[in-house]
Amino acid sequence: MSKNQKLKRIEERDLPILYRLLIKIPLKSLGSSSGIFWALVCPILVFLNFLFNFFILVYFSFPINIILALAVPAVVFILFVRVILERLINWWNNFVVSGYVKRDLEEVLDEYLTLIGRNEESEKSG
């Protein structure tokens, strides 16, 4: 990436139509409780998905049960993708564009080499 080329924020109007539709799905913003979502809500949804699919396969007749059994995991998958997309956009806008992530490889490599040199010197003297 050249020096004059800057990273841009991800705005909703710049996203492809599929991503804009995913973002418009009403879902309470997780904020700082995203760990609870992935640790509790996600396994519970997967387990309830299994039970609901089992009920669908037993209760309904042949063509309808297969269609419904495929639709339920698709809805759960779409919800997971929406959460992941929201987290990715927030991460990009907060860390990459704001400058918290170092992108200069030469600078990072120089810091790493000086750190290795310090460690070797302290091992020799200690």
- Burial (CB count <10 Å: 0-12, 13-18, 19+), residue 61: exposed
What is the per-residue pLDDT for 102?
57
What is the per-residue pLDDT for 47?
92
The 10 Å Cβ neighbour count of residue 38 is 13
Q: Write out pLDDT tens, residues 78-114.
A: 888 888 888 888 888 887 777 666 567 778 788 888 8
Q: Write out pLDDT tens, residues 2-61.
A: 555 577 888 888 888 988 888 888 877 666 666 777 788 888 888 988 998 899 889 989
Could you tell me the residue ranges of all domains in the chain? 16-101
